[in-house]
Structure 1
Amino acid sequence: MLEGMIQIDQDHTRVANNIEAAKEKMNNKKRKLLKA
């Protein structure tokens, strides 16, 4: 049970990191568009 919880927590962290990375990419694209 505990191992399963840890696995879920790791997956959640990975998803959160992916979302943050996606936000960063979007912000970078917006900045480039505004500069251009």
Structure 2
Amino acid sequence: MVSNYWTLLFYELRINLLNISLMCSLARYLNIIRWI
């Protein structure tokens, strides 16, 4: 039960990090479009 909880937490953290990196790349892309 505890190990299952930790794996879920780990996956959630990984998904959050992935979303943050995607948002950062998207923001950078939008900034590049704005400067052109």
Match of 1:9 in 2: 12
TM-score if structure 1 supplies the norm length?
Answer: 0.88
Q: In structure 2, what is the Cα distance between the partners aligned to 1:31 and 1:16?
A: 22
Q: Name structure 1 gaps, 5 residues minimum.
A: none
Match of 1:32 in 2: 35
Q: Name structure 2 gaps, 5 residues minimum.
A: none
Q: In structure 2, what is the Cα distance between the partners aligned to 1:16 and 1:31?
A: 22
Q: In structure 2, what is the Cα distance between the partners aligned to 1:29 and 1:4?
A: 37
Aligned-pair distance for 1:30? 0.3
Paired residues, number: 33
Runs of 4+ in 1 over 3 A off after TM superposition: none
Question: What CA RMSD, in Å, does the superposition of the two structures yield over aligned residues?
Answer: 0.3
TM-score if structure 2 supplies the norm length?
Answer: 0.88
